[in-house]
Amino acid sequence: MNIPSSLFLSAVTVVAAGALFVAALPAAEPESSATSGKELANRMSTGLQDSALVRAKIEMRAPDGSKQVLQLQIKERRTAASTDLLYQVQWPKERKGETVILHQDAGAAPRGTIISPTGSVRSLEASQMGDALLGTDLSYQDAIENFFAWKDQTITGSEVVNGVECQILESKPGKPGVSIYSKVRSWIDSKRLVPLRIEKSSGAGHVLRRIDTTYVARDQHDRFIPGKLIVRNPSKESITEFDGARIEQAQFTDGDFAPETAPK
């Protein structure tokens, strides 16, 4: 795996990962435990606030064994007040130029725009945030939301994941309309502050998304980062794997996320 620049695949966004692709905490900062769920969530949320230009590969594997591969360019700008994302397909040729632009203000429902390879534009409403992002097992909501910034954050226990002791953080939005999910559970490596597993559930308690970190790397600043993610949608029995190629820290303006100026 090549991570030549700064950071790759943060928690949430991890998926968006909540946020998938930006920021990590310095290796010297993590502690063995947090005094509260709110403190742990705040540290994770602060680590997501950054801007980056990402190049990544996504492989989607269906239950019948067939697969699709996409190469993407992603622009991401996350602050405490708002998040802007632009996902654009670079390959394969027939999907080149297909673009998804997402925006969310803190505490508000997300919205977005989809641009087809032919250049046609349509709006993406809040009610569509549960739909698949570029046909993957990730939803638009997964890419844009930062559940570590939700109102209710509780540590509900601990569990070993892949031989690593993790604190289980339970996040709830606190008010309707913020997310399509009613609860998110994150298994966070207490020493490295990396989420090794994330489960997102409906109001009925059904797990709608599961995200596993399958590789933890260090960036050039010696910070721990999720290096590879696998996303599962239990209702589809399919798998999507996210693998980073390159990420560069960057500065963006509002115009970088405007449909009329989206790169062709």
Cα 149 → chain centroid: 14
Q: How far is residue 110 from each of residues 103, 147, 174, measured CA to CA in Å? A: 6, 13, 16
- What is the rounded radius of gyration, in angstroms, for the C-alpha atoms of the chain? 17
Q: What is residue 50's predicted lDDT score, i.e. its pLDDT?
A: 84
Pick the CATH number of 12-255 from 3.40.47.10, 1.20.1440.20, 2.50.20.10, 1.10.10.410: 2.50.20.10
Q: What is the pLDDT of residues 41-61, one digit of tens each?
A: 999 998 888 888 888 899 999
What are 198's two structure tokens? 């994330």
Looking at residue 19, what is its pLDDT? 46
Structure tokens at 23: 């920021």
Q: DSSP of the chain, one letter per residue?
A: ----SS----SEEEEE--B-SS----TTS--S--SSHHHHHHHHHHHT--EEEEEEEEEEE-TTS-EEEEEEEEEEEE-SSEEEEEEEEEESGGGTT-EEEEEEETTS--EEEEE-TT--EEEE-GGGTTSBSTTSSSBHHHHH--GGGSSEEEEEEEEEETTEEEEEEEEE-SSTTS-S-SEEEEEEETTTTEEEEEEEE-TTS-EEEEEEEEEEEE-TTS-EEEEEEEEEETTTTEEEEEEEEEEEE----GGGG-GGG---
Whole-model pTM: value is 0.84
Token pair 């892949």: residue: 162
Percent of residues, the chain, with pLDDT higher than 70: 82
Q: Which residues of the chain have pLDDT under 50?
A: 1-32, 34
In this predicted model, what pLDDT tens digit does every residue of 89-115 receive, in sequence order? 999 999 999 999 999 998 888 999 999
- pLDDT confidence of residue 101: 97
